[in-house]
Amino acid sequence: VQQPQVLARIVSAVFALIVFACLVGDGYSSLPEDPELYCIFNHNGDACRYGIGIGVLAFLACIFFFMVDVYFPQISNTTDRKYLVLADLGFSGLWTFLWFIGFCFLTNQWSWTRAEDVYIEADSARAAITFSFFSIFSWALLLTFAYKRYKMGVEDFAQSYADPSSEVSAPYSSYPNISHESYQQPPFTHTAEAPEGYQPPPVY
């Protein structure tokens, strides 16, 4: 828990929880003469749905990657480690961008919202916009940590990898203490006297 990456992930989860809780709880209102609910962000339902969607997914992703951080030292398979780090890197980068879009979207719709359409929900709307802005930096920090861990893994792999083609194979040496000059004829080649006039076949 004391690792900076884990702390940043917990903070990001809290920010996401605040954003979608504000939008779910006070993001919709209704008029006395019309009981139908509408989004307080300029009556644009897409603004509320967008904020709720990225907030819920960000919260669930923080829980998942928090568990990954806990069990990451126990994962011995380098391929699994690589895919988890790449998933963290890609998701953090994507959600940094989506939080930026969400902040701009909510701010723009809030600026066009009429004051008579908002009552007590104004504080929740401002809180959703504020913590959307904070989420941009918290997820950018997670992106930085994920990139550092990925770069560290690549460098460790490069140091531990030895290219076999770079090693020049030494020629095979002959068996020690044996040379062609010291070669002796195998035993039992001339054990008997050959009869006169008979020439034994050459021994190869």
What is the Cα–Cα distance from 8 to 1, expressed in whole angstroms? 10
What are the φ and ψ backbone dihedral angles of 190, each rounded to 5 degrees? -120, 50
Domain ranges of the chain: 4-158
pTM of the predicted model, to two decimals? 0.72
Closest alpha carbon to 110 in 51, 32, 59: 51
Evaluate if residue 166 carries a pLDDT over 50: no
Task: Name the token pair of 127.
Answer: 């809180």
More confident residue, 171 or 19: 19
pLDDT at 94: 97
Q: How many CB atoms lie within 10 A of CB 144?
A: 15
For the chain, counts of helices (H) and of strands (E): 4, 2
pLDDT cut 70: percent of the chain above it: 74
Evaluate if residue 50 carries a pLDDT over 90: yes
pLDDT band at 115 (very low <50, low <70, confident <90, very high): confident
pLDDT at 34: 75
pLDDT at 113: 87
Compute the CA torsion angle 117, 121, 126, 130 (nearest 10 deg).
-140
pLDDT at 173: 47
